[in-house]
Structure 1
Amino acid sequence: MFNKYILNLIIFTTYLAAQQVEIDNIRPIAHVDLGACNDVWGYTAPDGHEFALVGHRTGTYIFDVSTNPHDPIEVGFILGETSSWRDLKVHGYYCYVTNETGGGVDIISLEDPFNPYKVGSHTSSTPTAHNLFIADGYAYLVGSGGGLGGTPSWQGIIILELSDPENPTEVGRWEETYIHDIFVKNDTAYACDIYNGSLFIIDVSDKTNPTTMVEHNYSNYGCHAVWVTDDSKYAVTGDEESGGYVYIFDIQDFNNINMVATWYPDEPQVQNKSVHNVLIKDDLLYISYYVYGTRIVDISDPYDPIEVGYYDWYPGQQGLYSGNWGVYPFTENG
């Protein structure tokens, strides 16, 4: 019988042991073994052609995944600083890449995605950053290596204006605490303070003066990643720690935020394992859950999240931060 949750999946991994794969309602169509990958994003060309942008310890890979989805074609590799952390986001036909070693934010042109090239780097704001998010023509860098006014490094949020995409301009900062991950929508930033277990909600309508609206502290440590539902009524966080789970919050009233659900996979050692990143497309939550692979959860009823598919390629359950670091569900072809 047809199941609407059956999804195609192209896997970019560090290692695959086929005899140990666990799978449900996902149809893997390709596997590319690149070594030490750290994140993945996507780019859709104006003609609809899809490309995978893969962060690697040594740089950024670009793959054509439309010509033959069963055999992705490498069309470019942009060498970068060697780093265990590399995150990528797209604005127009540019890919912006952060790392935690140095060299600033790499800027890669995808104008001709079959011949990508690095146009330069933004270094004036910070030499490093852990992650970034792009919304409405602005890039929000977090976990950066450059504080202002005597503040310590690895602070807050740096906001870059991208009207000249090859030459971003810093327009503002928010530096109340270290931020590890961020999601921005409708001039509102949802920011993860991992070290104190808090979700900050910040008004960024004035990019030169971001203002905290609320700090929702729900644990002592762990708030690692966040995404918000399409209707902006619920926020989903992932806590990166031993026993770190997925949490769903009702955020309709910033003065009365309530946790409505906790989710974790039905696995025997889950209380000693960690989730990594969370992303939402329509009513589905896509999770990179480290040793438990890619998990897909139906959150149409946020009070009752239900797993509808998974692909766990990681052999066994050893390690806390081993396995799947990233997943990208936003391809336009489904």
Structure 2
Amino acid sequence: MTIIVFLVIVIASVITIIYITNPKETLLISKLGSIETGGDTCDVEVVDGIAYVSDMQANALKIINVSDPSNPVLLSSYGVSGNHQLLVSDEIVYITDHNRGLVLLNVSNTSQPIFISRYNDPGEIDDLYIVNDTAYIIDQVDGLEIVNISDPTHLTKLGSFNYGSVGHHVDVFVRDNIAYLTDAENGLYVVDVSDPTDIVELSYYEESGMMWMDVSNDFLYIPNQKSVLLFSIETPESPKLLRNVKIGANPSVITIKGEIACVSTSDAGIKVLDLSNPRYPKVIGSFYDEGLSLGSYIVNDYIYVADKSGGLEILQMTSQI
């Protein structure tokens, strides 16, 4: 739908009418395929034509062949109670078991995942980020926990940092020994994690509603209420807010791949942003089927969406120009 605004200017009794239209979406997003996963799909990551999907209601990791996006096929399932976020690296799936810690699974055989180990935690593990042999874990109760994963069979805690409000810790991103931490009630925390036993807070940006973020080059994008906050992290220890990118929905998670960002919302499906000019992102596409998007993963022209009640949905992006 195109919205037209009439702007009337009167100069020396001459009336000039200027037509202002909203930007046209240049990306057509269509649904290619889908598969049910159990009723409460939370997260997805795709590696070499295989989708790894977490589902809370099914209490399981689902491994799905998506080499034919129009016909996804379930390969296997592995029980992980209360799982939330996951990462895949070197044929290992790291998946957060909300009430019991971090679980590692060997998926070299995607038809038969094998348990490797568990990092036990009495809190509520919700998210994680991995750099080399270190996992940075978000615990809703205890904040940031840093774990040595160099030996996948024996995980050891290196340090922790409690920030923000209990129950509101959300996400973590780490680069060059600096961690960016979001708290849904308080805002963005920046800390030095070069010494996990002595984590130092560097700066803090106060803002409620900050959710699951992503980074592209020297820019940090954080979903926040009805917009995405864009920060410059050219000075890593002191992020600078550049602008508030209006989404017109309630964004919760942003996923970036190259010059494309996919924003998952709680009430309007997904919004796709063009980041070719990273300082001035713009919405170029959207898709909504009345589901609740909780996460996504981008591979080439496809978006794999963790739809809370609709399972795994596979969307295709096609230029309309």
TM bracket, shorter-chain basis: 0.7 to 0.9
Bigger Rg over Cα: 2
8 Å Cα contact 2:203-2:238 kept in structure 1: no
Change (3 A) 1:26 1:72: same
Trace 1:64-213 onto structure 2 (pairs within 5 A).
64-66=65-67, 68-81=68-81, 83=82, 86-100=84-98, 102-123=99-120, 125-126=121-122, 128-144=124-140, 154-178=141-165, 179-196=169-186, 198-213=187-202
Q: Distance in 2 between matches of 1:255 and 1:308?
A: 32
Equivalent of 1:41 in 41, 44, 57: 44
Out of 240, 255, 259, the position equivalent to 1:283 is: 259
1:62 aligns with 2:63: yes
Alignment of 1:238-277 (within 5 A): 238-239=223-224, 243-253=225-235, 257-265=239-247, 270=248, 273-277=249-253
- Secondary structure of the residue aligned to 1:180 is strand
Indicate if the aligned counterparts of 2:42 and 2:54 stay in contact, CA closer than 8 A. yes
Cα distance per residue 1:163-215 (max 9 Å; x no partner): 1113221111112334311112222211102111x211222222333222211
Which runs of 5 or more structure 1 residues have no equivalent in the other structure? Answer: 1-21, 145-153, 316-322
Q: Conserved in 2, the CA contact under 8 Å of 1:295 and 1:311? A: yes
- Asked if the contact 1:24–1:311 (Cα under 8 Å) also holds between the matched residues in 2, the reply is no
Are positions 1:312 and 2:308 aligned together? Answer: no
Whole-angstrom distance in 1 between the partners of 2:240 and 2:101 = 38
CA distance in 1, matches of 2:136, 2:156: 12
| 1:43 Cα deviation after fit | 4.7
| 3-state DSSP of counterpart to 1:222 | coil
How far apart in 2 are the matches of 1:113 and 1:62? 7
SS of 2:125's equivalent in the other structure is coil
Counterpart selection for 1:237 from 222, 229, 236: 222
TM-score for the superposition, normalised by structure 1:
0.74
Q: Deviations over 1:287-318 (max 9, x none)?
A: 11122112210122233211122221226xxx
Partner of 2:3: none
> How far apart, in 1, do the equivalents of 2:52 and 2:190 lie?
29
The 1-side partners of 2:148 and 2:300 are apart by 25
SS of 1:34's partner is: coil
User: Is contact 2:185-2:209 (8 Å) kept?
Assistant: yes
SS at match of 2:295: coil
Q: 1:246 to 1:191 in 2, by over 3 A?
A: same
- Shift of residue 29 of structure 1? 2.1
Question: Residue 254 and residue 40 in structure 1: after superposition, are their counterparts in 2 closer, same or farther (change >3 A)?
Answer: closer
Residues 38 and 212 of structure 1: CA distance in aligned 2, closer, same or farther (over 3 Å): farther
Q: Percent identity?
A: 20
CA separation of 1:117 and 1:264: change in aligned 2, threshold 3 A:
farther
2: CA distance between counterparts of 1:117 and 1:24? Answer: 40
Instruction: Give the conservation status (yes or no) of the 8 Å contact 1:50–1:331.
Output: no
1:293 aligns with 2:293: no
Mapped contact 1:214–1:254 kept (Cα < 8 A):
no
Q: Distance between the aligned counterparts of 1:256 and 1:139, measured in 2?
A: 23
Partners of 1:312 and 1:23 in 2: how far apart? 16
SS of the aligned residue for 2:213 comes to: strand
Q: Give yes or no for contact 1:190–1:201 (8 Å, CA) kept in 2.
A: yes
How far apart, CA to CA, are the structure 1 residues paired with 2:171 and 2:51?
21
Q: 2:254 aligns to what SS in structure 1? A: strand
**8 Å CA contact retained: 1:276, 1:287:** yes
Report the Cα offset of residue 256 of structure 1. Answer: 5.9
Give the RMSD, CA atoms, in angstroms. 2.6
Cα 1:169–1:91 change in 2 (3 A) is farther
- Report the Cα offset of residue 159 of structure 1: 0.7
Count of aligned pairs between the two proteins = 274
Q: Structure 1 CA distance, aligned partners of 2:289 and 2:26?
A: 8
Residue 30 in structure 1 maps to residue 33 in structure 2 = yes
Tell me which protein shows more strand as a share of its residues.
2
Distance 1:333 1:205 in 2: 37
Answer whether contact 1:190 1:226 (CA < 8 A) is retained. no
Higher relative contact order (CA 8 A, sep 6+): 2
One-letter code of the match for 2:94?
Y
| Residue number in structure 2 paired with 1:52 | 51
Structure 1 residues 6-60: Cα deviation after superposition (integer angstroms, max 9, x where no partner):
xxxxxxxxxxxxxxxx99522432111234233223253xxxx321111112221
The 3 A distance-change label for structure 1 pair 330 and 208 is: farther
